[in-house]
Amino acid sequence: MRYKLFPLSELLNFTSKSQIKKLLKTFHCDKNKDLESFLHNKAVLFEEKGRSRTYLYVDTNTKETVAYFTISISSLYVEEFSKETITILYGQENIKLKCLPCYLIGQLGKSDTCDKKIGKILLKQALKTIIKGYYLFNGRFVLLDAINNEKIISFYEENGFIPIENLDENKEIIKMIYWLI
């Protein structure tokens, strides 16, 4: 396969930051500028500060970043949720909880230059990486930001995610959940 997956952390350990930044700048996405901007400007910093982990698919022929995903550990504010919902999210009754830990798929997408249908592979890989964490540290669910577009929401639904916000036209982003348990 032409595309190979590399953890950004491994690349940073191997070579200079400037070389890595050159590789990251080969990623372009006009449809989703946030996706592009995160990789260009924040991914390395967040990796170094322990905030998130980014994984890159690199075209080994052209040496370009064709797709990537970023995952992290986050927390969900639950204080205003009903007792029943907190019990579902936490696994047992606890009314004093304010926040709950969760896994987050913060970024996921492919470059404009990527001609392959790589979305499913990318998402599966992101989930596999999180599942490794789930086996090591446990956890109950994964959250994801999906662009509020019928095609994108359906894609995530086909892969086990469920929207947890109303699909209101005015919303740019819809949060979706994937249950690990």
Partner 1 sequence: MTQTIENPTIILPKESDKLIKESFKKKKSKKRVNNKKTIKHHNLNWLNEI
Binding site for partner 1 (CB under 8 A): 34, 37-38, 42, 46, 51-52, 70, 72, 74-77, 80-82, 84-85, 88-89, 99, 102, 104, 106-107, 124, 127-128, 131-132, 134-135, 143, 145, 157-166, 173, 175, 177-180
- Looking at beta carbons only, is 37 or 149 nearer to partner 1? 37
Instruction: Map residue 94 onto helix, strand or coil.
Output: coil
Q: Which residue has the tokens 């991914």?
A: 43
Q: 38: closest CA among 48, 28, 88, 143?
A: 28
In angstroms, rounded to a whole number, what is the distance separating the alpha carbons of residues 164 and 32?
22
Cβ-based nearer residue to partner 1, 14 or 77: 77
- Give least dist CB 85 to partner 1, A: 5
Shortest distance, position 181 Cβ to partner 1, whole Å: 8
Please identify, using beta-carbon distances, which residue of 52 and 65 lies nearer to partner 1.
52
Tokens read off for 3: 């595309």
Minimum separation from the CB atom of position 94 to partner 1 (A): 15
Rounded-to-integer distance, Cα 18 and Cα 57, Å = 19
Q: What is the CB-side half-sphere exposure of residue 49 using CA atoms within 13 A?
A: 7
Cβ proximity to partner 1, 44 vs 127, nearer residue: 127
What's the length of the chain? 181
